[in-house]
Amino acid sequence: MQNFIIKGITFAVLLSASGIAARADEMTQFYSGKTLSFIVASGPGGGYDLYARLLLRHYPKYLPGNPGVAIQYVPGGGGIVAANNIAGLARRDGTAIGLLASSTFVLAAVGDSQTKFENLKFTFVGNMNEEVDTCSAWHTSGFSSIDDIKQREAIFGTAGVGSNSHTFPLAMNELLGTKFKLIPGYQGGAQVRTTAMERKELDGSCGIFVSTLGAQFQGPLANNQLKVVLQMGLSRHPLYKDVPNALELAPNASARSVLELLFSQLAVGRPIVAPPDVPKAQAETLQRAFDQTMSDPQMQADAAKSGVELRWFGSARMKDEMQKMESAPASVKSDVRRILNVQ
């Protein structure tokens, strides 16, 4: 009897292994000769582009069949255009993925009519970095703290009405009493806004992630040209322990709950997704390749050399974070809709 059981187990293991091998061969045949479309929710040159190019230097080698890769920049609407593109227009066969602006997920969660997608229907691939956002002022602006921005109007540029560079300061004007005057239309990455600061066209900008500061603005930070006056996230970032977090400034529990929903998007700060309804085999292939890429020592060394932060996690936790966002109380979602003037 024992010998029979051992033989049965051995047969089952061999059967399972043969099934895995068959699926691998199937995916090799599927991806061979194809091109993976990689949609980026911004123009070239910004933080999203930096993360996208870092990933794509390593990701293809973990995809079976050695497919080619083509980046498509789809800016607009603070990231909404790219999210709508992946949800409604991109191929659903596993040959299209993208790096979206996480701010669009909150807008979808509260029912923004411009978002033509449902968050939980995306195929989640993984998240490259858990982020903390910042508001920063240029040294000639006269603003050196968030208290200064409570006292007088500060002209801050934004990437668009759907981006967190716009939605976060808009919420803080109402909840914290800040006086941000927001000028949308500075698309193409944070460099566009800092250039406008140098021209004295803007006093500063929100919506510059800590990871982007470290990768692209080490010089202005070290020279005290760019000063971080506020951070936004569910906790303070270790690199900015002395900079106040907007949550800490909330005057009451209701205001804090609204800010927590807004900041929940930062947990999935660099989200990689595929369209809805991707076949299971292709979805698992994309997810496994992502996990292998992010664990690759060469990838990690490349990130460190570029000053890119990688507090990453896979598709399972990404889905959990999105479900938390979706399950926020209706009253809190209603407050967010009102503050952001969501239609």
Within this chain, do residues 55 and 99 fall inside the same structural domain, yes or no? yes
Q: Is 153 in the same domain as 175?
A: yes
pLDDT in the model for residue 19: 52
Residue 51's Cα: distance from chain center in Å? Answer: 10
Q: Are residues 278 and 254 in the same domain?
A: no
pLDDT at 47 (0 to 100):
86
Task: Check whether residue 144 and residue 210 sit in a common domain.
Answer: yes
To the nearest 10°, report the CA torsion of 316, 318, 319, 321: 130
Instruction: Tell me the pLDDT tens digit for each residue of 155-210.
Output: 999 988 878 899 899 999 999 999 999 999 888 778 899 999 999 999 999 999 99
Cβ neighbours around 189 below 10 Å, total: 22
The pLDDT assigned to 17 comes to: 46
Q: Are residues 153 and 271 in the same domain?
A: no
Mark which of 236, 265, 294 sits at the end of a domain. 265
Mean pLDDT score, 227-234: 96
The conformation of residue 33, written as its DSSP 8-state character, comes to: T
Burial of 45 (0-12, 13-18, 19+ CB in 10 A): middle
CA 199/CA 273 separation, integer angstroms? 37
330/47: higher pLDDT: 330
Average pLDDT, integer, range 87-106: 96
Q: Mean pLDDT throughout 86-107? A: 96
How many Å apart are CA 308 and CA 302, to the nearest integer?
8
Name the CA dihedral angle for 18, 23, 24, 29, rounded to a multiple of 10 degrees: 130
Residue 122 and residue 41 in one domain: yes
Residue 153 belongs to a domain with what CATH number?
3.40.190.10
Q: pLDDT tier at 77 (50, 70, 90 boundaries)? A: confident
* Residue 8: domain span: 2-130+267-340
What is the structure's pLDDT at 147? 97
Give the rounded percent of residues in the chain with a pLDDT score beyond 70.
94
Rounded to the nearest 10 degrees, how much is the dihedral formed by the CA atoms of 9, 10, 13, 16?
-100
* Number of independent structural domains in the chain: 2
Question: Of residues 78 and 89, which shows the higher confidence score?
Answer: 89
Evaluate whether 124 touches 319 at the Cβ level (below 8 Å). Answer: yes
Percentage of the residues of the chain whose pLDDT score is greater than 90: 81
Tell me what pLDDT residue 109 has: 96
Cβ count within 10 A of residue 147: 12
Start-to-end CA span in the chain (Å):
69
* Residue 261 shares a structural domain with residue 137: yes
Q: In this predicted structure, what is the pLDDT of residue 15?
A: 45
Residue 118 sits in the same domain as residue 141? no
Q: Is the pLDDT of residue 343 over 90?
A: no
Domain boundary among 213, 244, 265: 265
Q: Is the pLDDT of residue 341 over 90?
A: no
